[in-house]
């Protein structure tokens, strides 16, 4: 229910336009069929590493949007020499896959979570934290993916030990208000919280990363957050953490992102669009014949409100 979309939705209904939400196109198991998550992960991971390079002066990465394609971007990593940086990647979906692609292309070595916590390394490393690595049931201390998705409020987040071992956090997890945050805002004041750069790629304001203060732009993707006051600052200054948070990251690789989206649309969706009884299309349809479909009737009050 976004105010700036109210008039658009009203007009779609008035003109009896069929509206399908591509984000609601799902396989039977609930997994989204198409999306831009992979390229959000690619661009976000690059920008996170770029921000760390700008903060430390230890290496330099050019902007993604200056490259003509993903292939050209990969070529910019040839000869890249990174310091012995430690990176945490959270998540296991499309966004995380894009992040991992960049980690591997940059020559950053993957290690297991327990090894990451216990060892020092003479080369750059990353570890991937999935649900079982991040959450524990408040009573049993265990983790069940099914139970977590049904009742996330019954779980605590166990991320903080990694904050004491990590230079860069690449955040690629889904989040809503029922899910525990990775850490508390006050935790960044602790001497044991050594993270210097956060690429909040899934980008929820005050979400899983509580110091996400809102979107930046492609041109200016990074801001700082004061460890003392939690106020927004210029990036790359002392006593602050740099946050990369941009809502339209795939726009930096428009040709590749659009091509991938189109390929998935043709492969999985086009045939269903040509039918009248595709359950995949029906579940994702918001309006038809001037009415909201049953799954989206909750928007009726929003549509009726003229204010």
Which residue, among 154, 198, 148, 193, has the nearest Cα to 174 in the 3D structure?
Answer: 148
Residue 307 has pLDDT above 60, yes or no: no
Is residue 133 assigned to a domain?
yes
The percentage of the chain sitting over the pLDDT mark of 90, rounded to a whole number, equals: 91
Is the same domain home to 83 and 170? yes
Specify the 3-state DSSP secondary structure of 53: helix
Tokens found for residue 113: 């979570």
Predicted confidence at residue 150, as pLDDT, reads 94
Same domain, 26 and 128: no
Burial degree of 136 (CB within 10 A; 0-12, 13-18, 19+): middle
Q: Where are the beta strands (DSSP E) in the chain?
A: 19-20, 86-90, 109-110, 125-129, 135-137, 155-157, 168-171, 197-200, 222-226, 232-233, 240-244, 285-288, 291-292
Q: Which of 280, 259, 257 is nearest to 33 (CA)?
A: 280
Instruction: Assign 197 to helix, strand or coil.
Output: strand
CATH code, domain carrying 89: 3.40.50.720
Give the model's confidence band at 159: pLDDT under 50 very low, under 70 low, under 90 confident, else very high: very high
Q: How confident is the model at residue 241 (pLDDT cuts 50, 70, 90)?
A: very high
Is residue 124 situated within a structural domain?
Answer: yes
Same domain? For 42 and 22 the reply is no
* Total number of domains in the chain: 2
Neighbours of 8 (CB within 10 A): 11
What does pTM read for this prediction? 0.89
| Full domain range(s) for residue 272 | 3-34+267-304
Structural contact between residues 216 and 48, judged by C-beta atoms closer than 8 angstroms: no
Contacts of 118 (CB under 8 A, 6+ apart): none
Residue 262 lies in a domain: no
Residues 142 and 290 reside in one and the same domain? no
């Amino acid at each position: 229910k976004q105010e700036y979309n109210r008039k658009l939705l009203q007009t779609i209904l008035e003109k009896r336009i069929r509206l399908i939400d591509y984000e609601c196109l799902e396989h039977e198991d609930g997994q989204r069929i198409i999306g831009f998550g992979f390229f959000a992960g690619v661009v976000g991971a690059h920008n996170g590493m770029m921000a760390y390079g700008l903060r430390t002066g230890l290496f330099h990465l050019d902007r993604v949007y200056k490259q003509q394609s993903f292939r050209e971007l990969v070529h910019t990593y040839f000869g890249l020499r990174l310091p012995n940086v430690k990176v945490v990647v959270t998540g296991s979906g499309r966004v995380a896959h894009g992040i991992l692609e960049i980690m591997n292309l940059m020559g950053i070595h993957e290690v297991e979570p327990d090894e990451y916590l216990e060892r020092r390394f003479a080369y750059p490393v990353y570890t991937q934290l999935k649900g079982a690595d991040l959450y524990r049931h408040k009573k049993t201390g265990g983790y069940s993916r099914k139970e977590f998705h049904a009742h996330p409020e019954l779980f605590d987040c166990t991320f903080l030990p990694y904050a004491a071992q990590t230079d860069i956090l690449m955040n690629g997890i889904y989040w809503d208000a029922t899910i525990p945050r990775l850490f508390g805002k006050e935790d960044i004041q602790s001497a044991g919280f050594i993270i210097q750069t956060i690429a909040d790629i899934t980008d929820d304001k005050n979400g899983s990363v509580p110091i996400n203060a809102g979107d930046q732009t492609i041109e200016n993707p990074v801001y700082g957050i004061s460890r003392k006051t939690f106020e927004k600052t210029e990036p790359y200054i002392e006593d602050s953490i740099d946050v990369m948070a941009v809502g339209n990251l795939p726009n930096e690789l428009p040709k590749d992102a659009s091509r991938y989206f189109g390929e998935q649309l043709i492969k999985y969706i086009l045939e269903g669009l040509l039918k009248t009884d595709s359950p995949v299309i029906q579940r994702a349809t918001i309006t038809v014949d001037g009415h909201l479909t049953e799954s989206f009737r909750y928007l009726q009050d929003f549509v009726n409100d003229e204010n």
